[in-house]
């Protein structure tokens, strides 16, 4: 893996398709703008909650950065996925 990867889950509880896509686009842009500061082997999965529909871009960005700091603070090691037989 040569760069961090992002997975998004934005359920119908967040809102209509227009709202879900707006949340998805905002989260993708936040990730894209932060990718240089993230470890190369990071796989990040974000599950958007209904409150994300009401949040501004800046609020989403602050929450994203807070979450990344929290993960780094805990010094979580990322394991390789186990092979299935």
CATH architecture of 5-74: 2-Layer Sandwich (3.30)
- The answer, yes or no, to whether residue 57 has pLDDT greater than 90, is yes
Structure tokens at 53: 């529909």
User: Global pTM?
Assistant: 0.80
pLDDT tens digits along 31-45: 999 988 888 888 889
Please tell me the distance from the alpha carbon of residue 16 to that of residue 70, in angstroms, as a whole number.
Answer: 31
> What residues have CB less than 8 Å from 50, skipping those under 6 apart?
13, 14, 15
Average pLDDT over residues 19-34: 96
Please tell me the distance from the alpha carbon of residue 55 to that of residue 57, in angstroms, as a whole number.
Answer: 7
Please tell me the distance from the alpha carbon of residue 36 to that of residue 14, in angstroms, as a whole number.
Answer: 29
């Amino acid at each position: 893996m040569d760069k961090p990867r992002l997975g998004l889950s934005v359920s119908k509880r967040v809102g209509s398709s227009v709202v879900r896509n707006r949340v998805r686009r905002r989260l993708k842009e936040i990730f894209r703008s932060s990718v240089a500061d993230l470890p190369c082997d990071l796989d990040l999965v974000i599950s958007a909650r209904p409150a994300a529909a009401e949040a501004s871009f800046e609020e989403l960005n602050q929450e994203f950065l807070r979450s990344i700091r929290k993960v780094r603070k805990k010094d979580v090691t990322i394991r390789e996925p186990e092979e299935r037989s």
